[in-house]
Structure 1
């Protein structure tokens, strides 16, 4: 996988981690897929935002290490429902330059905290159909406990902090055309809806 720690093109206008308002949504929705993938990486961390389907074998190759006894891979996929409503598809948008920096900081912090050898976080942008992967988190560690804990903590922090938003299209109402913007952190690890604070 390529290494690119140079400055990246900034698309969008909203630096917060809240879902965009309709005017901000218009600016964010014009992200140009030809400017992607956008990547930040080092010898032990690989972060990327992509429009194409995720390259899962490449992420496992990156995290594999002769000193790692555990390789943990999490794939977040689009399911066909949310809160008992049928979902036809999702679309993801982001503030790329900030999202990449946030994802890298999360990876670096969790890597140190749990003693992880290598970390990959890759998030899709654009339309992600039902059963397709929207995020991959892959980590390697000396032992499984730190790998499990580290991968889960990365995912929870990404949902809480990264400048990435999803838009859901429901198949049961007129919202099929408009969609509904939603923060990634709207549900917890058990699928329970988290009330805004």
Structure 2
């Protein structure tokens, strides 16, 4: 009896692995000119981007596990967002020259390329936001050091693209209902400037 139970468990596990490895998820871009294909290769997600005729434009091993929670969606016709509970979010971007690259949507580079906003949760359960301001360091490309850390009580349910630069001396944090604005003071320190409520006001009856 024990042998039969163990055999049944083995068969179920083998079948599950087979389905995971052979399964494929496909999703079309908004204009339907491209299609993203995600398949599992030995438990790791492999992403391919195809044109309307089915020709492969880009393939990458994402490093994300198929055995963890993940999702994929087109943000627009040129940006594809992969969320993974083990590797975090990544956006695959169609470059002007036609090639594809990937960016971390939690890190936003300033227009002048001298600073980066890195958004993360200081309390995962409560989803309260922390920010690290990184500053370019030396001549090495993409070399940054932490200039300032900001811990807030701002609740942000989705960190992806929550930070947006407005020039080089201001950035906003989008919370869903509000925009929190941060500005650089005369000493180069980032401080919160104001709170703008985006909720529609109910008409007076």
Larger radius of gyration: 2
TM-score where L is the length of structure 2 = 0.25
Relative contact order (alpha carbons < 8 A, sep ≥ 6): 1 or 2 greater? Answer: 1
Looking at secondary structure, tell me which structure has more helix per residue.
Answer: 1
TM-score where L is the length of structure 1 = 0.26
Looking at secondary structure, tell me which structure has more strand per residue.
Answer: 2
